[in-house]
Structure 1
Amino acid sequence: MMKLRERLRPDARRAQLLELGVRLFTERPYNDFTMDEIATLANVSKGLLYHYFPTKREFYMAALREATGEMLHLIEPSLSLPPVEAMRAALDAYLGFVEDHAPAYRAVLRGGVGADPEVQKIADDFRDAMAERLLNGARILQPTPEQRLAVRGWIGFVEAASLDWIDRQDLARPRLIQLLSQTFAAAMQAARTPRYLD
C-alpha cells in the first residue's frame, strides 16, 4: 500500500528532508544513492526535493551542516556542572555521536567527500566552535594564544583517537573519555605554564 504524502509547511518539510539526509549520509557512502532514491525514501516528488536542494551535493552539504549543528548542541558543556564533569559529559555525547555516525565521521576526516574544500570548511568551522565551547566549559573566557592552540591541537588528537576507537573497538568508552579528559587537562596545564626547552 502506497503511503500518502503529507502536506507540510516549507520549513518543516526542509527539516524532514535534512533529518533523512543526516541518516542516509551516515549510513551509506555519498555515491551509494541517487536523488531519485532520496525522493522515494522521503515520500516526496523529485521536483519537490530539487526545489529545496537543486543538487545532491547541496543536499549533502546541508545535511552535513545539520549534523555538525546537532553535534555542537550535544556537546555544549553544562555550566551548572564542575568543569571536569562537564568535559566528561561533552566527551560522552561526542563519542556517542561518532559511534552512531561512524561511516560519515570516517568519510569527513579521512578524505573521499571529506577532501572537498567546502566539506573541510564545514569541518574547520565545527572545530572552531568546538574549541570555543571547550574553553567556555573550562571557564577560560579570554584564552591566550597558547590555550587556543592547545585546544585546537587537542581536538586533532580527539579526532584521531575517535577514528582509532571506532575502527579497532578495543577500548571501553569510559576509559577513552578518561584518557581524553586527562589529555585536555594536560594540554591546558602546558598552555598555562610555558617551559621552553634549551
Structure 2
Amino acid sequence: MTNVFLNYRVADEPYGAALLDRSLSERFGSEAVFLASKSIRLGADWEKSMFDAIRQSAALLVVMGKKWLDAVDDHGRRRLDDPDDFVRREILTAFELGKVVVPVRLNTPRLSRDELPPALAQLAACQDIEVRFRSAQPDIDNLANRLSAIIPELPAPLASTRGSVFTVNGTGTGSNVWQAERFDVGHFHAGPSYNGARGAS
C-alpha cells in the first residue's frame, strides 16, 4: 500500500522528486512511496493508477521548485490555472479526500494565497517544509521523521548504509587496493571497479 504520494511537475524539478523518492524509499521501502515514473506498471492505465494511489495514500507531498508556480503550457497559459492540469487535479483530489498535504519547497520561498489559483488557495495554509541544496539529506531526514510522527502506518525504517565505515571489497596489499569493487564512505559511493585506489585519507 502506498503511504506517501509525490506530486511534482516534470517541467519544474523532476530531480528533486527523484531525490525525495530515493531517500524516502530507502527509509520506508519503495512500495510506501508513489512516484509515477517508478510506480505505475507497464501497460497500466496511468491516470487511473495515479488517482487510485492518491486514494490509498495518507499524505501527498507537493514538490515545489522555482518553476512550479509559473510553469506555462505551449500557449503561454499558466498550467496551474488549467482545470485539467494533473498537478492541480492531484492536489485537489488529496484535499477532497482529507489527505495530509505537505508543500515541499526546494530552495523556494513560501507562497501566498494571492499567488495561487483560488481553487488551490488552501495550499498556502498547509504547514510546509524546505529542502535546501546544501543540507538536502538532513532536511529530507527531518521530513521523514515528521511523516513518521503523523502517519503511524508508515513502515518501520529500513536498515541504512548511509554513514557506514569505510569498506572495501577487493584484492591488494599494503595501503593500495588494486581491484576495489565498491567504496562506501558516508554519502559517497564509488564502484564497481576502481584500480589503484588508495585507502582512506
Pairwise TM-score range, normalised by the shorter structure: under 0.3
Larger helix proportion, structure 1 or 2? Answer: 1
Report 1 or 2 for greater relative contact order, CA contacts < 8 Å, sequence distance ≥ 6. Answer: 1
TM-score scaled by length of structure 2: 0.27
